[in-house]
Amino acid sequence: MKKSYITTPIYYVNDAPHIGHAYTSVMCDALARLKRLNGCEVKLLTGTDEHGQKVEKSALTRNKSPQEFCDEISQKFRDLADFLGISYSDFIRTTQDRHKKTAQIFWQKLNENGWIYKDVYEGWYAIRDEAFYGEDELVDGKAPSGAEVTWHKEESYFFRLGDFQDILLKIYEQFPEFINPKSKRNEVISFVKGGKELIKGSLKDLSISRTSFKWGIKVPDDENHIMYVWLDALTNYLSALNYPQGADFKEFWEDKSSIVTHIVGKDILRFHGVYWPAFLIGSKFKKSDLDSIKLEDLFGVLPDRIFAHGWWTNEGQKISKSLGNVIDPYLEIEWLKSMNIEEELAVEYFRYFLVREVIFGNDGNYSREVFMSKVNSELANNIGNLAQRTLSMIFKNSDGFIAKNPQIDSQGKELIDFGLEIENKISHLIESCDFDEILNLTVNFASKANEYLHHKAPWNLKKENKIDEMNDVLYVACEVIRQLAILLLPFTPNSAKKILDFLNIANEERNFANLSNHLKFGSKINEPKAVFARISELKQ
């Protein structure tokens, strides 16, 4: 079975989770479920990033020890992942021993391979971004992200990032799939190229240790230094696989046939698209061998794909704590519950909207009005209605039996074959994380089926006592519903499962390989209930 390793970023525990975190996790979960349905064995990793000055500061302002504070907030992230039905296989915390051990082993490898040296760091640091900035990068005295910066001068270990410019550019060029979407890939390339003109012919070497505070992982053999939080954090992807000896590391990372995908927000692409590949190459190859590395040598060393998604705004405004417009996923579920949507369904609607509203990679705007209209038109009125009309007609008029020997006309065949077209495209769409197109096809498929039903009007056939013809039409509609439910499994898993349960579809047939494997003639369905309730604001 093909293997696939998918990771969310690990979330800073300086504050409670919000829609941005929910979004990254839901996208990763959708990808994980898509791949499982496509026959892959998937490991989905999520977790929390607990070290660094930002977290230490937040703990102090709340009068808590950093560890106590981390335990509390990390739990909130885990609760949110559970609440949203994220199908993670592991939850990593950077304060766990398994992680600290890995980060130190990784450091030692970089050191043994000649990539680390000691010097003095002098420059700007933004605690909010946990990032160093050059004078030339500041905008009006602040980090490009708007974060406040402070001047630092301290002894520090450095990583020879500067040496990686050529190899990084070769990687971006040779593997255009490495960084997605294309627009973001271009930004990374110009960042790496930009270094050439700006800083003495190469990217800047990177300060990777701090002495001015303590909340972090100790640098091996130098107690005074703790690791730079990004070096610590990035290695989480390896700790969870028991790097370097674990079977999971060998199977999910080193094995060239396994696909490793990191999904991250656009704000942290620099760390994943530039620092992380350089660290990984440095952990595997000696400085003296850099020029002789062939790109094929990097399979099983680097991740395969890094996807950067955009940012959400709230009703058109940038989301920020100071503006007081941070969107709390739990409050959104409460809002839906206040309109009589049950919690389980509310979570599915929230997940659906997050994936559906924004083309992956673009920024998106969160608006409750658009939320309601999208969910109502696509899930309630389109797919839900199709399922409810069709299944209840079969249940009421044919004792729950699907036609025993349906005669499918050309329109019916054409409709069913649309599912085959989707099946043929799906692997490619999954690999390119084109959730948008998968859902376009799904919704379009349902619209076509509704048009077909409308045109064939089985309710009239019934009145005219043309029972066989009615059953033929209902068979076609039912077959489409089966396929639609399979296609919805990654996005609204519980509701899709309910539809498949009504149809009595065996568990082993709930996957993409069975998309075009038609419903068994004459099989029996269970009593259907409406799955996608309409959201309507209650009039006060």
**Residues near ligand MSP, by CB under 6 A:** 9-12, 20-21, 23-24, 49, 233-234, 236, 264-265, 267-268, 311-312, 319
Nearer to ligand MSP, 41 or 328 (CB): 328
Beta strands in 111-233 (DSSP E): 116-126, 131-133, 150-159, 179-180, 206-207, 209-210, 218-219, 222-227
CA–CA distance, 19 with 324 (Å, rounded to integer): 14
Other CB atoms closer than 10 Å to residue 287's CB: what's the count?
Answer: 14
CA 321 to chain centre: 24
Tell how strand 206-207 and strand 179-180 pair up: unpaired
In angstroms, what is the minimal distance from the CB of 200 to ligand MSP? 28
Residue with tokens 């692997």: 427
In angstroms, what is the minimal distance from the CB of 262 to ligand MSP? 8
Nearer to ligand MSP, 234 or 515 (CB): 234
Nearer to ligand MSP, 5 or 12 (CB): 12
In angstroms, what is the minimal distance from the CB of 498 to ligand MSP? 30
The residue type at 399:
D
For the chain, how big is the Rg over CA atoms in Å? 26
Quote the tokens at residue 108: 């030692």
Nearer to ligand MSP, 301 or 319 (CB): 319
Nearer to ligand MSP, 12 or 252 (CB): 12
Nearer to ligand MSP, 264 or 426 (CB): 264
In angstroms, what is the minimal distance from the CB of 303 to ligand MSP? 12
In angstroms, what is the minimal distance from the CB of 302 to ligand MSP? 15
Residue with tokens 């933004």: 126
Other CB atoms closer than 10 Å to residue 522's CB: what's the count?
Answer: 12
Contact 226, 208 (CB under 8 A): no
In angstroms, what is the minimal distance from the CB of 474 to ligand MSP? 43
Nearer to ligand MSP, 272 or 389 (CB): 272
Expressed in percent and rounded to 5, the helix, strand and coil fractions of the chain are 55, 15, 30
In angstroms, what is the minimal distance from the CB of 443 to ligand MSP? 24
In angstroms, what is the minimal distance from the CB of 16 to ligand MSP? 11
In angstroms, what is the minimal distance from the CB of 275 to ligand MSP? 10
Residue with tokens 């890995």: 102
Nearer to ligand MSP, 66 or 419 (CB): 66
Contact 493, 33 (CB under 8 A): yes
Query: Which residues are within 8 A (CB) of 14 and not within 5 positions of it... i.e. 6 or more apart?
Result: 54, 55, 57, 58, 73
Nearer to ligand MSP, 242 or 511 (CB): 242
Give which of 294, 302, 226, 269 is closest to 51, Cα–Cα: 226
CA–CA distance, 167 with 38 (Å, rounded to integer): 34
Coil vs helix vs strand at 521: coil
User: Can you give the length of the chain in residues?
Assistant: 540
Element housing 92 (H / E): strand 90-93
Quote the tokens at residue 244: 């370097």
φ and ψ of 417, to 5 deg = -65, -20
CA–CA distance, 446 with 460 (Å, rounded to integer): 21
Nearer to ligand MSP, 20 or 244 (CB): 20
DSSP class of 96: S
Q: How far is CA 254 from CA 41, 142, 238, in A?
A: 15, 40, 11
CA–CA distance, 470 with 73 (Å, rounded to integer): 57
In angstroms, what is the minimal distance from the CB of 339 to ligand MSP? 25
In angstroms, what is the minimal distance from the CB of 185 to ligand MSP? 17
φ and ψ of 211, to 5 deg = -120, -10
Partner residues linked to 132 by β-bridges: 125
Q: Which residue is nearest to ligand MSP (CB)?
A: 265
Nearer to ligand MSP, 233 or 422 (CB): 233
In angstroms, what is the minimal distance from the CB of 298 to ligand MSP? 20
In angstroms, what is the minimal distance from the CB of 392 to ligand MSP? 40
Nearer to ligand MSP, 70 or 233 (CB): 233
Nearer to ligand MSP, 435 or 475 (CB): 435
